[in-house]
Amino acid sequence: MSLHLGDTAPDFTATTTDGDISFHDWKAGSWAVFFSHPADFTPVCTTELGRTAALGGEFQRRNTKPIALSVDPIEDHRGWAPDIGEVSGTELNFPIIADPDRSVAELYDMIHLGEGDTSTVRSVFIVDPDDKIRLTLTYPKSVGRNFDEILRVIDALQATDANPIATPADWTPGERVIVSPALSTDDAKQKLSNVEEVKPYLRFADAP
């Protein structure tokens, strides 16, 4: 199934390290970072899930719940969890979905046969409180993801939802933003601070 930005993230039920969940009920009212990894007891995945655990406070501050998935069984997730805590210095503080029948992985198109086998690649779905897909990323099995970038995108999505702005290349929170093309410069000056017109189509303003 091909999932696009703006689509409703498909609901599913699954067994996780935190018990059985229904995805929409589990995330109710929150943002979610739903991400797959290829396999338990593997090096890159251990660093990725450890980094996610260490960033638990950052996700919480953004009203965002992380949740991971691999096609390994729940017993393997439970056996691997202590290693994640040991590596990151933070106990596993988010659920890992066990998907041995690959039903969720297939629903989210997380298995790419060109990547070698029928384990999941490194997919990321950022899903908003209305269950809409707001960002997708797909990384190969050999490359660990940048979780600071995932936090940065959540910051940008939340800022652009709340204000008539967009964010420029390499933006980080606090830096100047781009005035939404839908807003005239006069209107922008009423709504935003320190508006500068570099081109008629490129106006910067202070972060709201």
Q: Which of 106, 109, 115 is nearest to 142 (CA)?
A: 115
Residue 60 touches ligand BEZ, criterion: CB under 6 A: no
Residue 142 touches ligand BEZ, criterion: CB under 6 A: yes
Strand 31-36 to 122-127 pairing: antiparallel
Q: Respond yes or no: is residue 45 known to be catalytic.
A: yes
Give min distance, CB of 31 to ligand BEZ, in A.
25
Q: Which of 126, 129, 133, 174 is nearest to 149 (CA)?
A: 126
**Count of residues near ligand BEZ by CB under 6 A:** 8
C-beta closer to ligand BEZ: residue 67 or 121 = 121
Torsion 33-114-111-119 (CA) sign: negative
Give min distance, CB of 97 to ligand BEZ, in A.
17
The pair of three-digit structure tokens given for residue 117, joined into one six-digit string: 């086998």
| Angle ∠(126,34,158) on CA atoms, nearest 5 | 25
Residue 89 touches ligand BEZ, criterion: CB under 6 A: no
Residue 114 touches ligand BEZ, criterion: CB under 6 A: no
What is the contact mask toward ligand BEZ in residues 32 to 51, using x (rule: CB under 6 A)? ------xx--xxxx------
Residue 138 touches ligand BEZ, criterion: CB under 6 A: no
CA 174 to chain CA mean position, Å: 21
Give min distance, CB of 30 to ligand BEZ, in A.
27
Question: Under 8 Å CB-to-CB from 24, ≥6 apart: which residues?
Answer: 9, 11, 131
Please, are residues 146 and 132 in contact by the beta-carbon 8 Å criterion? no
- Active-site residue (options: 9, 45, 105, 121): 45
C-beta closer to ligand BEZ: residue 37 or 134 = 37
Residue 3 touches ligand BEZ, criterion: CB under 6 A: no
Residue 67 touches ligand BEZ, criterion: CB under 6 A: no
Please, are residues 92 and 17 in contact by the beta-carbon 8 Å criterion? yes
Residue showing tokens 């969890």: 81
Give min distance, CB of 37 to ligand BEZ, in A.
7
Give min distance, CB of 86 to ligand BEZ, in A.
16
**Contacts with ligand BEZ, residue ranges (CB under 6 A):** 38-39, 42-45, 141-142
Catalytic residues: 45
